[in-house]
A and B are shown apart, each in its own frame.
Chain A
Amino acid sequence: MKPVPFSYERPRDLNSALSMLAASRGSAKIIAGGQSLGPMLNLRLVQPELVVDISGLAELKRAEIRGGELVLGALVTHADIEDGRTADVTRGAMPGVAANIAYRAVRNRGTIGGSLSHADPAADWISALAALGARVTLRSLAGVRSMAIEAFVVGALESALDAGEIVEAVHVPARATSAHWGYAKSCRKTGEFAHAIGALLVDPAAAAARVVIGAIDTAPIVVTDAAELFGGRIAADFKQRFDARAADALLVKAGIDDAAQRHIHVSVLKRAVFEAAA
């Protein structure tokens, strides 16, 4: 199919982009890498009057370490992160996730801000960055606000973005040297979206763990204090203490009544736990 007719603008600075969005009163769509919006337009799942191409905004391409955390502009691509063209504060966690998103052609164009805004439940960043404890900053003409990834992703293809708002940057906290990272996903074929994602950041020294079960039909399950999944205590033996039944209970609570589907999710999370412990 072909998209509906739309007008196209490519603003040169962030303020002009925000003005265009504000003036359009919700009838505009932002395009960044176009890897998700392109298909959505062609299937007429979105029918904007105006497409605002933000790919020329230098403000959104910056990547720098500020106050110990990494600030990635929304236009940083998966390939930038994979190839190490941007700094890394996660000791390889983010480049590892980036390298397994779709395939290279998609990674060359797809952006971190676009991926988060699209809020596909099966996408990688919404799960991985929630596990890493990252935050997003959103900007509109009215100003800036900031929120945790798990607050930003509201449901399937649903984010907390208001009309007129743009994802400006992602703020990723540095991963402690004592923190273990595990990320696993199951895809039916190469480049296919995952049907199960498990992510965790475990720091036995701080007795803390964040766990994410993603690629369920809605926003990922994010457990910011995951002691319940490890028998009530996070310690060096977290691999042995991993409680598959507690993970299963979370999925039941999320409304997944298909036992095989839950089993796949728990098994993928277990892979991530084993990777973190390795």
Chain B
Amino acid sequence: MTQGYKPVRDSGTFSYAAHAAVVAVDPEVGEVEILDYVIVEDGGVLVNPMVVDGQIYGGLAQGIGTALYEEMPFDNSGQPLATTLADYLLPGATEVPAARLDHMETPSPYTQFGVKGIGEGGAIAPPAAIANAVNDALRPLGVELMQSPITPHRVVAAVLAARTSGRSAA
């Protein structure tokens, strides 16, 4: 016999988050630097605020990896090209900025203490926030990047393509 537990209300307890990034982009070398990063998250009632902050910081680090570093490329015959951590880049302490965090606490009406799930909010938004910031920085050059991670090579290739197609105003 298999038994399970099904709560009366099983729609999940979603938290809400907004991320804002300020970046500097060097269009000649393709380097991206995160200058400032702000996160506001509504995780409902914070039972242990320290744990919630840690979860969000960790998620941010993971999201920065998705945005700028982590990639599993394959060659034409299907061989994976990033099989060690020397090739598969992860952000380290110096790549993760000291983000500014703020909380809204709108209690969930469906949970015991008004808590909400906080797990993924930190990790999902950074690729979008960082890509939007990079694209905003490169807008005068007529460049829009649509693929992550945003590598120096992808930035420069896009800048050169815009220059040759005459899209660039600069």
Contacts and interface: CB of A to CB of B under 8 A. Distances in A.
A260 B156 contact: yes
Given A186-B29, A189-B69, A264 B94 contact: no
Contacts of B91: 189
A191 interface: yes
A190 B92 contact: yes
B89 interface: yes
A188 B91 CA distance: 10
B95 A261 contact: no
A268 B95 CA distance: 21
B142 interface: no
A264 B89 contact: no
B157 A260 contact: yes
Nearest to B158: A260
B89 A189 contact: yes
B86 A190 contact: no
A117 B93 CA distance: 31
Contact of A263 (B28, B89, B94): B28
Interface in A248-265: 258-261, 263-264
Contacts of A195: 152
A188 B156 CA distance: 14
Interface of B is mostly: loop
Interface residues of A, number: 20
Interface in A188-214: 188-192, 195-196
Interface residues of B, number: 19
A196 B29 contact: yes
A267 interface: yes
Given A188-B151, A189-B95, A190-B94, A264 B69 contact: no
A43 interface: yes
Contacts of A190: 92, 94-95
A39 interface: yes
Contacts of B156: 260, 263-264, 267
B31 interface: yes
A263 B30 CA distance: 10
Contacts of B86: 39
A259 B28 CA distance: 12
Nearest to A190: B94
A188 B89 contact: yes
Interface in A54-79: none
Contact of A191 (B30, B69, B92): B92
B139 interface: no
Interface string A238-278: 00000000000000000000111101100110110000000
A188 B82 CA distance: 15
Nearest to A187: B31
B160 interface: yes
Given A39-B86, A270-B28, 6 more contacts: A188-B151, A190-B95, A192-B89, A195-B152, A259-B160, A264-B29
